[in-house]
Chain A
Amino acid sequence: MGRIADLVGARSPAEGQTERKAVVALVGAPNVGKSTVFNLLTGLSQHVGNWPGKTVEVKTGVHHQGDVELEIVDLPGTYSLTANSPEEQVARDYIIQRRPDVVAVVLNAANLERTLYLVAEALELPSPVVVALNMVDVAEREGMRVEPEVLQAALGVPVVPMVASRGEGVRELVDTIARLALGAYPYIPKRPEPGPELGALVGRVEDLLGEETPPPHPRRWLALKLLEGDRDAIELARANIPGDRWEQLNSLLRENEDAVVSIAGARYQWIERMVRAAVVAPRQGAISLTDRLDRAATHSLVGPAILLGLLGVLFWLVYRVGGPAMDLLDGAMGAGGDLLRESLAGAPPWVAGLLVDGVLGGVGTVLVLLPILMIFFLGMAFLEDVGYMARAAFVADRFMHLMGLHGKSFLPLFLGFGCNVPAVLGTRVIQSHRARLLTILLAPLVPCSARIVVLVFVAGALFGDAAPLVTWGLVALSLTLLAISGVLLDRTLFRGERPAFIMELPLYHLPNWRTIALEVWQHTRAFVARAGTIILVVSVLVWALADQPAGSIEESYLAQVGRLLEPLGGLMGLDWRMMVAVLTSFVAKENALATMAVLSAGGEESSLAAALPQMLTPAAALAFLVLQVTFIPCVATIGVIQQETRSWRWTGLALLYLLVLSLAMRIATYQAARFLALGG
């Protein structure tokens, strides 16, 4: 159990006492402070898992209070419980199939009307519902007062007022959940009733479903979902009820295609009654802080300037704080490596090589990335928490739209200029699975700072005065490839209905540092655990290939592979040494320079600049650079692609796509450059 849970008065159960356990599912629309509530309850005891067959994260954690142990499941934030997105599917499948003892719906008191929609849906499901009325402080600041007792009476379910950002109301929430789970609370919910016409229609669908309603689905719920056009519900009904009755049902559903609109309308009418009863002082028309801030943040000219400015600050932080920290860690790793090598003086050289160059090198790659990553995580979590992220997406949507991307894809892609790893990890802000996958596939095409270093170095050594132009041209090339790839993927692999760009712009609020800190911690931990493992394994593998069997890179397996690939290299004007440099740059793009230095210049990068013109013709150099820009991303990026897509298939596809793209591009470049008589 974590420190944060201690703060709110959670206690370990007394010795010898039997615990009363209950499973609680936490649901809520986005921007209601659900993760703050979850973090308060579970602290650092969280475990992140995946719902089977879905790339949707489900966090679980444990909360102790008195002799009660609550297992809390944080379901994805959704506006409704229809199978419109994987998130909604996971949330409602969990509630139906796992039957949590209690479903706690978190509401935003400042936005009661819209967040109550989920309550209207949750009341149709079998588990008892508790309403956590969060952000009552924000509502009061906005001039609204909500009376929890009145809302409780109107809904017929317990309502607990909370200010989760200050830890208020948590104890009461846990008490209420425990009482409800133990059946110590009379639970008589007042469900939203559809009007007479709609009610009759729901009744007819229920009759047609009959006894064939597959358990554990409630019949009335299934009838409503069928009328709402829910694809999963339709599949379920088709598979379970006899053919002729299904035909009847299907034609009834077809006749009433618009029922979804009336059902939602009826729910909102019910909500309006609740709001009229429970809200004492309705919001005044005054211009709020959010209005004033948005005048600048979403302005068609000022908005992009603010976005770029904020990103500038983020990059400045990365270089001013992350850079030195990275150097420090790099130095420490170097010193540690020397120390380890000394202490292993007696062992066979391959042991020292494996431990120092392979293992420590791999750990170093992971560790050295951490300061930068944590700053990026912090920046993203901060912007998301204060409510700015939705504005950034709004501003960027105009450009991203062309590639079939969501406005939210802009930020992660932009982060890619620093490093592709946070770019891939940053795609978490994108809710739509399709847009997220597409963004992940495109992220490696953003030239990261390491690639730009290689670019600047090689271009400087070979192209003299034209170097800036060449560098610029190559960066422009990779961005053009990104745009083209986006358009192509959108039209082919990702064809189908684009995710609709409809997004709530939440009220701005002060950052909640606990939530941000936990977010940074979780992301960092996930990166080390998953991507870190892959990076370590690949790093050891590449070391082994570069070291064995003879202990020198010139005669290694890697060199043999490089020689094997020479015919392919020939198409691009690259000899085996350059091919090896390409292969080692897989671990980290900077490695390309080090390898070339080892193979050609006795290990000194300064003499490499002099040696390069002898190794490469300008045409070949251009091809080499094109390949550096477009070739398979570094192992860290691949690690996080696998981590985020949770699919080797997609990871492999990303690799294959980049491989084909770069192969085509570099051969085309070399042949074109030769044709243009740059010298072959």
Chain B
Amino acid sequence: MWTVSQQIEDYLEAIRKLEERAGYATTSALAREHRVAAPSVTEMLRRLSEQGLVTYEQRKGVRLTPEGRRRAASVVRRHRLWERFLHDVLGFKWDKVYDEACALEHATSPEVERRLAEALGNIDTCPHGHAIPGPDGETDLPFLVPLSELKAGQTARVVRVTEEPAELLRRIGALGIRPGVNVRPGNDARGEGTVSLWVGEQQRQVEREIAAHIMVVPLSPEEVEEDSISLLGDLAPGEVGVVRDFHGGHTFVARCLALGFTLGVEAKMVQNVGHGPVIVLVRDTRVALGRGEAEKIVVTRK
């Protein structure tokens, strides 16, 4: 059943999303979003405006009023809570949760919404990395830019990716991109339409069109340094870490030092299967370390 109130909620949700991206929601963008003709969009916007949920500006499009913003945030909150539930609890893939959540969001009572949030531990992002608005409708949005606009060499953290379509999400997922992952564009893009991108230790060629759907927050050099702090045992094979500190008894530290693990030395992970001992290359020597030992050496990733 497609009720008027559901339709209103869907429109508010869409306007909010477009506003987040561009500041305004245009009639044509909304028509594309809802796959309907522009006149019916105009008709709907007129009704929303009458109810005091949006303000309409000539040529620009619409913006949400405070009341509209509150109602939209409430829908988005329900939608994203459901996405989390589907993804985390029911094990849905991240490219499958959007449509399911679209159906569930309208049938969610405030009581269900509250319990859902509690059951999920009051988590604050959806599986794609979008902030879940709080019960009062407020969200803190960091300064976000699309990945496609990032300069070469600028490291940034992925905050969120588009929620749909599923095909695009699958391709983003295949690149190893997830909210929280650090990326850095290189300056050797293969062509106009692509971006060269470092995702961890892997270099990828990403279509500009896809990159535009990935929102990132640029990191300062200090943040990059801070962010790259890790334990030797957490490095993946091939990754290089610079030794920064030791967490261990005196005997342990002395033994590390004698074997060449001095501060500032580069240690390259050779073998790490996630459990059991690891093999590290340091000062041209292969050294085997127990997992416990490898987790007592602090490094910064290179």
Contacts and interface: CB of A to CB of B under 8 A. Distances in A.
Answer yes or no: are A and B bound together in one complex: yes
Interface string A47-90: 00000000000000000000000000000000110101000000
A588 interface: no
B260 A265 contact: no
A261 B251 contact: no
A337 interface: no
Contacts of A397: 276-277, 288, 290
Contact of B287 (A298, A300, A503): A503
A434 B286 CA distance: 25
Contacts of A265: 257, 262-264
B284 to A, nearest CB: 6
A394 B277 CA distance: 7
A501 B277 contact: yes
A390 B288 contact: yes
Nearest to B275: A398
Contacts of B286: 290, 294, 504-505
A677 interface: no
From B246, B254, B265, name the one whose CB has the most chain A CB atoms within 10 angstroms: B254
A498 to B, nearest CB: 8
Interface string B232-253: 0000000000000010111111
Contact of A113 (B256, B271, B283): B283
Given A79-B259, A113-B283, A117-B258, A398 B276 contact: yes
A204 interface: no
A111 interface: yes
Contacts of B262: 261, 264-265, 268
Given A501-B288, A503-B287, A260 B260 contact: no
Interface string B143-164: 0000000000000000000000
A175 B203 CA distance: 57
B20 to A, nearest CB: 46
A265 B273 CA distance: 30
Contact of B259 (A260, A300, A497, A502): A502
A80 B279 CA distance: 21
Nearest to B260: A114
B217 interface: no
B260 A502 contact: no
B258 A264 contact: yes
Contacts of B256: 502
From A228, A264, A497, name the one whose CB has the most chain B CB atoms within 10 angstroms: A264
A98 interface: no
B277 to A, nearest CB: 5
A627 B254 CA distance: 45
A229 interface: yes
B242 to A, nearest CB: 13
Given A300-B276, A398-B275, A502 B287 contact: yes
Given A265-B262, A300-B273, A500-B290, A111 B254 contact: no
A505 B288 CA distance: 6
B254 A229 contact: yes
Interface string A322-339: 000000000000000000
Given A114-B283, A500-B290, A80 B254 contact: yes
Interface string A472-513: 000000000000000000000000010011111100000000
B166 interface: no
A407 interface: yes
Contacts of B253: 260-261
A261 B263 contact: yes
Contacts of B252: 497, 500
B293 A501 contact: yes
Interface string A389-404: 0100110011001000
A223 to B, nearest CB: 17
Contacts of B258: 79-80, 82, 84, 117, 264
A166 B288 CA distance: 29
Contacts of B257: 80, 260-261, 264-265
Contacts of A268: 260, 262, 265
A117 B260 contact: yes
Nearest to A390: B288
A276 interface: no
B255 interface: yes
Given A229-B254, A497-B251, A111 B288 contact: no
Contacts, number: 109
A327 to B, nearest CB: 41
Nearest to A261: B263
A117 B276 CA distance: 29
Given A228-B254, A497-B249, A504 B259 contact: yes
Interface in B280-295: 283-290, 292-293
Interface string B69-91: 00000000000000000000000
A290 B258 CA distance: 23
Nearest to A231: B250
A283 interface: yes
B279 A260 contact: no
Contact of A505 (B249, B273, B279): B279
A505 B289 CA distance: 10
Contact of B290 (A283, A290, A501): A501
Given A84-B254, A261-B262, A111 B284 contact: yes
A265 B288 CA distance: 21
Contacts of B264: 265
Contacts of B260: 113-114, 117, 268
A432 to B, nearest CB: 11
Contacts of B271: 294, 298
Nearest to A113: B283
Nearest to A115: B285
A233 to B, nearest CB: 12
A497 to B, nearest CB: 6
B288 A503 contact: yes
A502 B288 contact: yes
From A228, A397, A501, A502, name the one whose CB has the most chain B CB atoms within 10 angstroms: A502
Contacts of B259: 79, 114, 502, 504
Interface string A644-663: 00000000000000000000
B289 A501 contact: yes
From A260, A390, A505, name the one whose CB has the most chain B CB atoms within 10 angstroms: A505
B12 to A, nearest CB: 53
Contacts of B251: 84, 497, 500
Contact of B254 (A260, A393, A407): A260
A398 B288 CA distance: 12
A525 B177 CA distance: 64
Interface in A382-422: 390, 393-394, 397-398, 401, 407
A156 B178 CA distance: 57
A584 B146 CA distance: 84
A502 B289 contact: yes
Contacts of B273: 300
A229 B254 CA distance: 9
From A113, A261, A394, A500, name the one whose CB has the most chain B CB atoms within 10 angstroms: A500
Given A117-B258, A261-B253, A401-B290, A283 B265 contact: no
B293 A500 contact: yes
Contacts of B249: 497
Interface of B: 246, 248-260, 262-265, 270-271, 273, 275-277, 279, 283-290, 292-293
25 contacts: A79-B259, A111-B284, A113-B285, A228-B254, A229-B250, A260-B257, A265-B263, A294-B270, A394-B277, A397-B290, A497-B249, A500-B248, A500-B252, A500-B255, A500-B293, A501-B289, A501-B290, A501-B292, A502-B255, A502-B289, A502-B290, A503-B287, A504-B287, A505-B279, A505-B285
Q: Which 3 A-B pairs have the closest CB atoms?
A: A501-B290, A264-B257, A80-B258
Given A298-B279, A502-B289, 16 more contacts: A80-B257, A84-B255, A113-B285, A114-B259, A114-B260, A117-B260, A260-B257, A261-B257, A264-B254, A265-B263, A294-B271, A393-B288, A398-B277, A500-B251, A503-B287, A503-B288
